[in-house]
Amino acid sequence: MVDRLRRALGAVSGQALGPYQSAVVRIGFAVTWLFFLLREFPNRHELYGPDGPWSWQLAERLVTGNHAFTVLLWSASGWWFELVYGLAVAASALLALGWRTRATSVLFMAGVLSLQNRSVFMGDGGDNVIHLMAVYLVLTRCARVWSLDARRARLRGSASAGAAGPVLWGALGVVFAYGAVSGRLSDGWTAAFAALWAGAALWWLLERYEPEGERRAALDVLANLLHNAGMLVIMAEVCLIYATAGWYKIQGSRWQDGTALYYPLRLDYFTPWPGLSGTLAGSGVLVMLLTYGTVAVQVAFPFTLFNRRVKNVLLAVMMLEHAGIAVLLGLPFFSLAMIAADAVFLPTGLLVWVGARAGALRVRAPLRGASPRPALSPYPGAAPRTPSASNAGEAG
């Protein structure tokens, strides 16, 4: 028993578990929020800006009461809103690419919370999931694979190499220090951002001046523990979402008699393809099967985590269900957010295979239709060598 506990503790503290799953979650939520911001760019003033129905006074009163975080209420000027919105777009793109992920994940969280807390009634349910996951991603080491940080660590020996990281953290520190001194940040958010900034500064100092020391190793253990705790919270959150949604559906009479899906398919607001929705709604048997199937899958999913095969089957069914919601009901960003959350349960073997296939396609694409040229040797007089696929992938 003691040996098992010791091995489990070593596994949790010795490595960041689920690196591929955390990378998929990072990319999924960053891309979802990025696409949403870009699609709503012409409507940004009505959604989150000064022209919105949720006025400045109402937002300020609500934030004062619940101590929510939003930098949009720091100034009423138009240039400040445009700056915050632009930074939210940039942070989403950089987080998806995995560039300086420790800093950009904080910037991504600040952008998500600032916009959503400014206008709390703008959303379709997927915004709540993005809201929560933006906070959890700050705790994870979600750039271990499939990121520019991983590429930099592979080529330079450290993901923190270069001056961009300290400059970015310095700018974030100045902004949040101003918010704390001016009283625009609550005590809780001031402490949270101060802890993040101090942790990033300590990490940079130890990685620069003591990369192999005991204190650096202790900090790595702490980062692994935070990452694994964050991944556990994400998984628990997904299970909680499905469990509560399923059990609430069971209590509804329309879900009990198998007709719940019929009504949204008949609403003009939720029918981007009226012909397809009408055909589906016209089949009573299909509507009943989809209605009961949705409830059964959502209620059963948390219990299938103990059986890998059954879990993978239900996971595929739920992803297909969300894809159907995106097409039939016209809720693409809600569906993308839920698919990104579901991705935390994807099997590692599948993700490694997909990554290997994508890497092979990326290496072969530049060489298609042309013979590879020999690489120039950095040593005078040495024979030129032809780069192999592995070397090309490493350099890319």
* DSSP state letter for 383: P
In a domain, 68, yes or no: yes
Q: Which of 63, 188, 43, 333 is nearest to 72 (CA)?
A: 63
292-339 confidence digits (pLDDT tens): 999 999 999 999 988 999 999 999 999 999 999 999 999 999 999 999
**Residue 277 pLDDT more than 60?**
yes
Give the span between the Cα atoms of 248 and 250, in whole angstroms.
5
DSSP 52-93: SSS-HHHHHHHHHHH----GGGG---HHHHHHHHHHHHHHHH
Instruction: Note whether 33 and 146 are same-domain residues.
Output: yes
Average pLDDT over residues 113-120: 93
Q: Is 230's pLDDT higher than 80?
A: yes
In a domain, 169, yes or no: no
Look at residue 379 in the predicted model and tell me its pLDDT.
36
Question: Residue 25: enclosing H or E segment and its boundaries?
Answer: helix 19-39
Q: Is residue 36 part of a domain?
A: yes
SS3 state at 375: strand
* Residue bearing the bigger pLDDT, 161 or 73: 73
Q: Which of 104, 130, 153 is the last residue of a domain?
A: 153
Mean pLDDT, range 223-250, rounded to an integer: 94
- Asked whether residue 124 carries a pLDDT value surpassing 60, the answer given is yes
Q: How far apart are CA 189 and CA 183, in angstroms?
A: 11
Lookup: tokens for 186: 């609550």
Evaluate whether residue 367 is within a structural domain: no
42 belongs to a structural domain: yes
Domains in the chain: how many in total? Answer: 2
255 touches 295 (CB < 8 A): yes
How many CB atoms are located within 10 Å of the residue 185 CB?
22
State yes or no: pLDDT of 162 exceeds 80: no
Q: What pLDDT is attached to residue 367?
A: 55
- Report pLDDT digits (tens) over 56-109: 889 999 998 888 999 999 998 999 999 999 999 999 999 999 999 999 999 999
**Structural domain harbouring 276:** 245-348
How many Cβ atoms from other residues are within 10 Å of residue 308's Cβ?
Answer: 11
Q: Cα–Cα distance between 141 and 282 in angstroms, integer?
A: 48
384 band by pLDDT with thresholds 50, 70 and 90: very low
* Among 85, 227, 109, CA closest to 172: 109
3-state secondary structure 284-340: HHHHHHHHHHHHHHHHHHHHHHHCHHHHHHHHHHHHHHHHHHHHHCCCHHHHHHHHH
Let me know whether 256 and 147 are in one domain: no
Q: Is residue 381 part of a domain?
A: no
How many C-beta atoms surround the C-beta of residue 86 within 10 A? 13
Give the mean pLDDT of 215-242.
Answer: 94
Q: 265 and 140, same structural domain?
A: no
Share of the chain above pLDDT 90, in %: 62
147 occurs within a structural domain: yes
Given a cut of 90, whether residue 126 has pLDDT beyond it is no
Domain end residue (candidates: 120, 153, 186): 153
Residue 264 lies in a domain: yes
Domain final residue pick, 153, 170, 191: 153
Name the amino acid, one letter, at 53.
Answer: P
Can you tell me the distance from the alpha carbon of 203 to that of 191, in angstroms, rounded to the nearest whole number? 18
Q: Is the pLDDT of residue 13 over 90?
A: no
